Amino acid sequence: MNFFSSSPLFHFLLFLTICISCVNLVYTTPVKIGKGYRLIAIEESPDGGLIGHLKVKKKNNIYGPDIPHLQLYVKHETDNRLRIQITDAEKERWEVPYNLLPREKAPLLKQTIGVSRKNNPFPLGASEYSGNELIFSFTTDPFGFSVKRKSNGETLFNSSSDDSDPYNNLVFKDQYLEISTKLPKDASLYGLGENTQPHGIKIYPNDPYTLYTTDQSAINLNMDLYGSHPMYMDLRNLNGEGYAHAVLLLNSNGMDVFYRGNSLTYKVIGGILDFYFFAGPTPLAVVDQYTEFIGRPAPMPYWSLGFHQCRWGYHNLSVIEDVIANYKKAKIPLDVIWNDDDHMDGKKDFTLNPVNYPGPKLRAFLEKIHAEGMHYIVINDPGIGVNKSYGVYQRGIANDVFIKYQGKPFLAQVWPGAVHFPDFLNPKTVEWWGDEIRRFHELAPIDGLWIDMNEVSNFCTGLCTIPEGRICPNGTGPGWICCLDCKNVTSTKWDDPPYKINASGIQAPIGYKTIATSATHYNGVREYDAHSLYGFSETIATHKGLQALEGKRPFILSRATFVGSGHYAAHWTGDNKGTWEDLRYSISTVLNFGIFGVPMVGSDICGFYPAPTEELCNRWIEVGAFYPFSRDHANYYSPRQELYQWKSVAESARNALGMRYKLLPYFYTLNYEAHTTGAPIARPLFFSFPNIPKLYELSTQFLIGSSVMVSPVLEQGKTEVKALFPPGTWYSLFDMTQAVVTKEPHYLTLDAPLHAVNVHLYQNAIIPMQRGGMLTKEARMTPFTIVVAFPLGASEGEAKGKLFLDEDELPEMKLGNGQSTYIDFYAKTSNGTVKIWSEVQESKYAMDKGWSIEKVTVLGLDRIGGAFEILVDGTQVTDTSNVQFTTEEHKYIDKLEEGGDKRKSMMLDIQGLELPVGKNFVMSWKMGISP
Q: What is the DSSP string of 851-906?
A: -EEEEEEEEEESS-EEEEEEEETTEE----TT-EEEEEE-EE---BSS-------E
Q: Which domains does the chain have, with CATH numbers?
A: 36-105+122-182+246-279 (2.60.40.1760), 337-602 (3.20.20.80), 783-926 (2.60.40.1180)
Tens of pLDDT, residues 782-791: 999 999 999 9
Q: pLDDT band at 105, cuts 50/70/90? A: very high
Contact 598, 628 (CB under 8 A): no
Q: In the predicted model, is pLDDT for residue 22 greater than 60?
A: no
* Intra-chain end-to-end CA distance of the chain, in Å: 60
According to the model, what pLDDT value does residue 865 have?
Answer: 66
Residue numbers annotated as active site: 452, 455, 575
* Residues facing 463 on adjacent strands: 487
Contact 382, 437 (CB under 8 A): no
CA distances from 637 to 3, 7, 312, 322, 533 (A): 10, 13, 8, 19, 31
Q: pLDDT band at 720, cuts 50/70/90? A: very high
| Total-model pTM | 0.95
Q: Can you tell me the distance from the alpha carbon of 248 to that of 232, in angstroms, rounded to the nearest whole number?
A: 7
According to the model, what pLDDT value does residue 404 have?
Answer: 98
Q: How many residues does the chain have?
A: 931
According to the model, what pLDDT value does residue 411 have?
Answer: 98
Tens of pLDDT, residues 860-893: 998 776 678 999 999 998 888 899 999 999 998 7
According to the model, what pLDDT value does residue 674 have?
Answer: 98
* Residues facing 338 on adjacent strands: 377
Q: pLDDT band at 700, cuts 50/70/90? A: very high
Which residues, at least 6 apart from 456, have a Cβ–Cβ distance to it below 8 Å? Answer: 213, 215, 382, 383, 421, 514, 515, 534, 535, 560
Q: What percent of the chain has pLDDT over 90?
A: 87
Tens of pLDDT, residues 414-458: 999 999 999 999 999 999 999 999 999 999 999 999 999 999 999
508 SS3 class: coil
Q: In the predicted model, is pLDDT for residue 734 greater than 60?
A: yes
Of 221, 332, 219, nearest to 578 by C-alpha is 219
**Mean pLDDT, rounded, for 317-326:** 98
Beta strands in 688-814 (DSSP E): 702-704, 708-711, 720-725, 728-732, 738-742, 746-751, 758-762, 765-770, 784-789, 797-806
The HSE-up count of residue 207 (CA atoms within 13 Å, CB side) is 22
According to the model, what pLDDT value does residue 880 have?
Answer: 83
According to the model, what pLDDT value does residue 864 have?
Answer: 73
617 SS3 class: helix
Contact 690, 235 (CB under 8 A): yes
Looking at per-residue pLDDT, the higher value among 772 and 126 belongs to 772
**Mean pLDDT, rounded, for 723-731:** 97
Contact 51, 43 (CB under 8 A): yes
Tens of pLDDT, residues 793-840: 888 999 999 999 999 989 999 999 999 999 999 999 998 899 999 999
Q: pLDDT band at 28, cuts 50/70/90? A: very low
Tens of pLDDT, residues 492-524: 999 999 999 999 999 999 999 999 999 999 999
CA distances from 157 to 80, 145, 275, 587, 707 (A): 15, 8, 11, 29, 32
Tens of pLDDT, residues 757-794: 999 999 999 999 999 999 999 999 999 999 999 999 88
Q: pLDDT band at 19, cuts 50/70/90? A: very low
Q: Can you tell me the distance from the alpha carbon of 740 to that of 738, in angstroms, rounded to the nearest whole number?
A: 7
Contact 670, 704 (CB under 8 A): yes
According to the model, what pLDDT value does residue 123 have?
Answer: 59
Q: pLDDT band at 127, cuts 50/70/90? A: confident
824 SS3 class: strand
